[in-house]
Chains A and B, each alone.
Chain A
Amino acid sequence: MNDHAPHADHEHEHPTWKQYKWVALILTLVTVVEVWIYYTPFKETPYYVPTLLVLSAFKFATVVLYYMHLKYDHKLFKALFTGPLIIAGCTALALLALFSHLAIPE
Chain B
Amino acid sequence: MASAAAVAEHHEHTHYTTTGLDNRKVAIWAFIGSECMLFVSLISTYLIYKGKSIVGPFPHETWTAPDGHKFNAILNIPVTTQSTFVLLMSSLAMVLALEAVENTGKPGYAGKIRGNASFWLGFTAVLGMTFLGYQAFEFTSFVHEGLTIHTNLFGSSFFTLTGFHGAHVTAGVLWLLTLMSISMKRGLTQKDALLVDICALYWHFVDVVWIAIFTLVYLIK
A residues neighboring B (CB under 8 Å): 1-3, 5-6, 11, 14, 16-17, 20-21, 23-24, 27-28, 31, 34-35, 38, 43, 48-49, 52-53, 55-56, 59-60, 63-64, 67-68, 74, 76-77, 80-81, 83-85, 87-89, 91-92, 95-96, 99
Q: Is the CB of A2 within 8 A of B201?
A: no
Tally the A-B contacts, defined by beta carbons under 8 Å. 118
Label chain A's interface by main secondary structure.
helix
Assembly CA distance A3 to B18 (angstroms): 10
Q: Is the CB of A1 within 8 A of B14?
A: yes
Known contacts A68-B200, A76-B26, A96-B47; 6 further A-B pairs (Cβ under 8 A): A2-B17, A3-B21, A24-B88, A35-B77, A64-B204, A84-B37
Q: Is the CB of A74 within 8 A of B204?
A: no
Contact-residue bracket for chain B: 35 or more
Q: Is the CB of B212 within 8 A of A17?
A: no
Residues of B within 8 A of A77 (CB): 25-26, 29
Q: Which 7 pairs, one residue from A and one from B, show the smallest C-beta to C-beta distance?
A: A84-B33, A56-B215, A88-B36, A88-B40, A2-B20, A80-B29, A99-B48
Q: Is the CB of A1 within 8 A of B13?
A: yes
Q: Is the CB of A68 within 8 A of B205?
A: yes
Assembly CA distance A74 to B221 (angstroms): 39
- Least CB distance, B3 to chain A, in whole angstroms: 21
- Least CB distance, B16 to chain A, in whole angstroms: 7
